[in-house]
Amino acid sequence: MKTSWWRRIAALGCVVLGTTALAATPAQATLSPASPISIQLSGRDSSNNTVLVGSAVGSLAFDDSNTWYRLSVTVCRQGSYSFPNFRVLVNGANQYLYVNENNARPQVCAGYPGYPANGTLDGDFSYGGTIYTITICLQGVLFTNPVKFPERCFTYDNPFS
């Protein structure tokens, strides 16, 4: 049986397209087990009473390529005068990521009457080099005399580096 010239061209085209599609498919990323993020920020008012200022709850996972990480966090405003400042530092360098205060998760921040404000930060974030550590910081404002800026930070080591 003689195969037509058009069928040969079509078959060759399918082989080329299939090979190109396979080559363009990225390898699946391997993520570390998610590390829990749980920060409760507190401070002292001018009468030396403990005041809950803000909290951050979520998870952090590292990619085995050592160049990106997955972060999912909810920041809750409790007694802070303004919305708490959430910072992410990679190898000590600030990443300038911003919490989306319009994407609320009220179920996470329930139980803080009078301060329902909360926001989220979710995504995969890349870095221009090898990630060794990520530090997560939460800072609030206590409107006391004098004004206080309590802060808590936690550092997470990349298990792949």
- Block mean pLDDT (10 aa), the chain, length 161: 54 47 52 96 89 93 96 91 93 92 76 70 95 97 87 97 90
DSSP string, 8-45: HHHHHHHHHHHHHHHHHSPPPP-BPPPEEEEEEEEEE-
Give me the pLDDT at residue 20, please: 41
For residue 60, give the nearest of 92, 93, 39, 37 by alpha carbon: 37
Give me the pLDDT at residue 9, please: 55
Give me the pLDDT at residue 66, please: 96
**Does the domain formed by 35-157 have CATH 2.60.40?**
yes
pTM recorded for the entire structure: 0.78
Q: Give the containing element (helix H, strand E) for 78.
A: none
Residue owning tokens 């829990």: 36
Q: Which residues contact 19 (CB under 8 A, 6 or more apart)?
A: none
Bridge partners (DSSP) of residue 93 are 90
Domain definitions of the chain by residue range: 35-157
Give me the pLDDT at residue 11, please: 53
